[in-house]
Structure 1
Amino acid sequence: MLAQPSRAAQFTALIMNGCQFAGQTVMFAWANDLIRRDDAKRSIVIACMNMFSVAVYLFWSLLFYNASQVESNWYEGNCAMIAMGTFLLVTTIAVYLLQRRQEKQEGMTVRTYEAAGEKTDF
């Protein structure tokens, strides 16, 4: 995306860049599942995620893919898309690791209650 690619390579790269945003529904579902036991926390997290995504989508094309950048083949937008893809990868790995830690802690909590003979509703 940063070099002058052929038309086919440019089209393929733009399609792949657009696929990054298809993960939004997966991220919302994942966040909803991670916080399924706390309605207040879930509502705040989902609202903040929605607010951030609308703000990004609203200004993304205005800042990085405006008509004045056609001559430079949207170099700034391509750099921003690479940075966002990297940020998404790092965030996904961090959330996955935190999810595994949370599930391990919840599993230990369930075993503790069961060992004590108390009824659990997990």
Structure 2
Amino acid sequence: MFAPINAVCALDAGVIALLGSVPQRFYAFGDAPQNVPKPYAVWQTIGGDPENYLAGRPDADGYSLQIDVYAESGKDARAVAKALRDAIELHCNITRWGGDSRDPVTKNYRYSFDVNWIVLR
């Protein structure tokens, strides 16, 4: 019942180069450890629905995901966002570029984007 974003990114050389492998610094929202090394990224489901039909059970589910990258520089945040984009865009559709920001307290840079992913059951 979730988009296979971690499974896809765990196999991508570009993502591995920037976020490591086992464990990869790409977490479900709220699961990033305290003081995790940067850069890292998180994702969360922000919407979705089953592919409903008049007769029968749905054979696919649609998910909208938000992906947020955190880094010590804007350049690093953009590089990770690009690697994630390249890893997943053949599996889903990017629907929003959220842009750059910087947290005034932590001074972390952030890049955000959204995707829609259809998963066959």
For the criterion TM > 0.5, the same-fold answer is: no
Where relative contact order (Cα < 8 A, 6+ residues apart) is larger, the structure is 2
Structure with greater strand percent: 2
**TM-score for the superposition, normalised by structure 2:** 0.28
Q: What TM-score, normalized to structure 1?
A: 0.27
Higher helix proportion: 1
